[in-house]
């Protein structure tokens, strides 16, 4: 069995319009959300054998903050192909992952991350249908999805071959990390 954890980067800032998209940094709320998600992942016992990530600044900073919350700082495989990648490109990255890794954490961007989760998962059961519905509604920043696959090799992962075990948004852990409300 293989497990894939997808992680969308945390909230980044738009306060410097001259900054290239690739170089945008996290804002304070994004840093808090990433730390919170790291703590939550640790509390769930979600480990990972390999990390593959976009090298964009906001992803690098998201992982740094998440690792602070998680309490462990593994090596990261920075892969430029993950930056703003489509679901099909992300699937290729996953399929090329080393088979020695039972669980991979893939950190990147939307809409590719969301589309990947939806394309890989099936509607097999009430919980999976609920989780898929939440992903379809919106895959917010700093959210994670966990999928499992009944395969021995990453190359065997394909559309519809996975099961969406969970989808967790920062606001599910701390409501203050949810969308800003204008009253």
| HEC letters along 85-116 | CCHHHHHHHHHCCCCCCCEEEEEECCCHHHHH
Could you tell me the CATH number of the domain that includes residue 31? 3.40.50.1240
154 within some domain: yes
What is the per-residue pLDDT for 122?
Answer: 86
What is the per-residue pLDDT for 142?
Answer: 97
Between CA 104 and CA 127 the distance in angstroms is 22
141 within some domain: yes
Residue span of the structural domain in which 82 resides: 2-177
For 72-110, the pLDDT digits (tens) are 999 999 999 999 999 999 999 999 999 999 999 999 999
183 within some domain: no
Beta pairing, strands 103-108 & 2-8: parallel
Between CA 85 and CA 74 the distance in angstroms is 23
20 within some domain: yes
Domain count, the chain: 1
182 within some domain: no
**Residue 180 in tokens:** 């800003």
130 within some domain: yes
Instruction: Give mean pLDDT, residues 111-127.
Output: 92
Can you give the C-alpha Rg of the chain in angstroms? Answer: 15
What is the per-residue pLDDT for 183?
Answer: 42
Between CA 15 and CA 75 the distance in angstroms is 30
Between CA 14 and CA 24 the distance in angstroms is 7
158 within some domain: yes
**Residue 177 in tokens:** 């990390």
For 144-181, the pLDDT digits (tens) are 999 999 999 999 999 999 999 999 999 999 998 988 65
What is the per-residue pLDDT for 181?
Answer: 54
102 within some domain: yes
At 69, phi and psi to the nearest 5?
-70, -35
């Amino acid at each position: 069995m293989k497990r894939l954890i997808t992680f969308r980067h945390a909230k980044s800032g738009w306060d410097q319009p001259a900054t290239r998209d690739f170089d945008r940094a996290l804002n304070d709320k994004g840093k808090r959300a990433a730390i919170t998600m790291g703590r939550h992942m640790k509390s769930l016992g979600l480990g990972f054998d390999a990390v593959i990530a976009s090298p964009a600044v906001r992803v690098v900073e998201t992982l740094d903050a998440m690792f602070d919350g998680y309490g462990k700082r593994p090596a990261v495989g920075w892969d430029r192909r993950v930056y703003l990648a489509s679901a099909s490109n992300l699937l290729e990255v996953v399929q090329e992952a080393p088979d020695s890794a039972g669980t991979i954490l893939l950190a990147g961007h939307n809409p590719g991350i969301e589309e990947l989760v939806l394309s890989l998962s099936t509607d097999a059961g009430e919980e999976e249908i609920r989780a898929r519905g939440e992903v379809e509604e919106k895959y917010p920043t700093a959210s994670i999805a966990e999928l499992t696959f009944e395969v021995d090799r990453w190359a065997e992962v394909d559309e519809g071959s996975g099961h969406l075990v969970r989808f967790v948004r920062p606001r599910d852990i701390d409501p203050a990390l949810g969308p800003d409300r204008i009253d």
